[in-house]
Amino acid sequence: MALEKIWVFGEAGADGAATITLEMLAKAREVADTVEVFIGGDGAARAAELGDHGSAKVYATGDLAGRMQGTCVASAVASAIASGEVAAPDAFLFGTTYDGRDVAARLSVKLGAGVLSNVVDLRLDGDRLVGVEPVFGGTLNVSSRFADGGPDIWLVRPKSFEPSPVGGPPAEVVDLPVPELGAAGGAVIRDRFTEESAGPKLDEAAIVVSGGRGLGSADAYSMIEGLAKQLGAAPGASRAIVDAGWVPYSYQVGQTGKVVKPTVYIACGISGATQHLVGMKGSKNIIAINKDSEAPIFAVADLGIVGDVHKVLPKLTEALEAR
Ligand SMILES: Cc1cc2nc3c(=O)[nH]c(=O)nc-3n(C[C@H](O)[C@H](O)[C@H](O)COP(=O)(O)OP(=O)(O)OC[C@H]3O[C@@H](n4cnc5c(N)ncnc54)[C@H](O)[C@@H]3O)c2cc1C
């Protein structure tokens, strides 16, 4: 038995649909007969890619021209349902992103519907959806479902599912008009700041080299950047060195940072606290360099090097440079 219909909140990535949108579409197709996307933006530009990933329709507000996704999209969806123009789906899926959380929270209030957040898996139990959420730093999983009513609103953690195109036809584009928002519509986006970064993005890179407190100083982070450059990898970090101000927050891997799933993850001077592990333990191959052979990171590592990062990293970089 599958759900009748799921709506996925669509977001734009650097080049087409955001990966999280495609990840959620893959899971939604498993548990619902019909999957549709709703977006704050231009639907025609997204129809082919979303259809290829199994979305039958894309409900689109049209260009929001600097207006906030949260207020516009939540109001548009709520008013389309209230007016009877569209039937409410059984469930809404949102990515755990800034816009996803903003729209989900406002929609929850407007529909009087509950939200379950931080979900890493979804499955069917009869005709109800059950979400799996890791707790206590990922050491336990809790399964939850909504008591009754609906529609259910789920916030899904990125990298929980694999995108998988199905070769569907372009999604039908349907207008999702934004109603008059009053004072709530007053907030506008005046400017956007994109942090400059060279090389691959942390959450999309095939190789990630992360540094932790074991580096000893902010200056020593250059060893991580040097190795990352040689490998065409993205540099990452533990929270300890983000909190210490050695690198920006955008580098942080873990529970309160980014979730990464690269082919190779190299943890340098990182102890392996559970809050760090939740962000990287899905990596295909984990290499850890730590001077303490008892460090918990070795429990998840495929290859462990017990040694001083100040000796191992320069040697590794030198060997790669010589190739
Ligand atoms: C609510 C909450 C959320 C959190 N979210 C995150 C998160 O998203 N990401 C995250 O990373 N953490 C997170 N933390 C923090 C986490 O609990 C740890 O404190 C943090 O991950 C530790 O960072 P670290 O491994 O760099 O430092 P430490 O735990 O201090 O480990 C340093 C390691 O370096 C080794 N070392 C020391 N010198 C050397 C050397 N010369 N050569 C080689 N190895 C050496 C040591 O043996 C040690 O294992 C969170 C904590 C809480 C409470």
40 lines ligand 1 (CB under 6 A): no
Instruction: Mark whether 258 and 161 lie in a shared domain.
Output: no
Q: Is residue 195 part of a domain?
A: no
Contacts of residue 43, Cβ cutoff 8 Å, sequence gap at least 6:
58, 59, 60, 62, 171, 173, 174
Question: For position 220, which CATH number holds?
Answer: 3.40.50.1220
Query: By three-state DSSP, how is residue 240 classified?
Result: helix
Alpha carbons 179 and 171: distance in angstroms, whole number? 24
Alpha carbons 4 and 54: distance in angstroms, whole number? 15
96 lines ligand 1 (CB under 6 A): no
Nearest ligand 1 atom to the CA of 238 is 11
Nearest CA to ligand 1 atom 6: 275
pLDDT tens for 30-82 read: 999 999 999 999 999 999 999 999 999 999 999 998 899 999 999 999 999 99
Mutate to test the pocket of ligand 1, among 243, 291, 294 (most ligand atoms within 8 A of CB): 291
Nearest partner of 23 among 87, 105, 100, judged by Cα: 100
By the 8 A CB rule, do 111 and 78 touch?
A: yes
pLDDT tens sequence for the chain (323 residues) = 789 999 999 999 878 999 999 999 999 999 999 999 999 999 999 999 999 999 999 999 999 988 999 999 999 999 999 999 999 999 999 999 999 999 999 999 999 999 999 999 999 998 899 999 988 877 889 999 998 777 999 999 998 999 999 999 999 999 999 999 999 888 889 998 877 777 888 988 999 999 999 999 999 999 999 999 999 999 999 999 999 999 999 999 998 999 999 999 999 999 999 999 999 999 999 999 999 999 999 999 999 999 999 999 999 999 999 98
Question: For position 137, which CATH number holds?
Answer: 3.40.50.620
By the 8 A CB rule, do 21 and 49 touch?
A: no
Instruction: Mark whether 181 and 213 lie in a shared domain.
Output: no
Nearest partner of 95 among 155, 17, 7, 11, judged by Cα: 155
Residue where a domain terminates, one of 131, 152, 186: 186
Peptide bond into 262 cis (omega under 30): no
71 lines ligand 1 (CB under 6 A): no
211 lines ligand 1 (CB under 6 A): no
Instruction: Mark whether 220 and 312 lie in a shared domain.
Output: yes
pTM for the full predicted model? 0.84
Give the residue numbers spanning the domain of 226.
207-321
214 lines ligand 1 (CB under 6 A): yes
Instruction: Mark whether 50 and 93 lie in a shared domain.
Output: yes
Q: Distance, CA 66 to ligand 1 centroid (Å)? A: 39
Instruction: Mark whether 173 and 270 lie in a shared domain.
Output: no
Nearest CA to ligand 1 atom 28: 271
pLDDT tens for 242-279 read: 999 999 999 999 989 999 999 999 999 999 999 999 99
238 lines ligand 1 (CB under 6 A): yes
Q: Distance, CA 85 to ligand 1 centroid (Å)? A: 52
Q: Distance, CA 108 to ligand 1 centroid (Å)? A: 36
Nearest ligand 1 atom to the CA of 253 is 9
Instruction: Mark whether 51 and 180 lie in a shared domain.
Output: yes
Q: How many domains does the chain have?
A: 2
Instruction: Mark whether 21 and 133 lie in a shared domain.
Output: yes
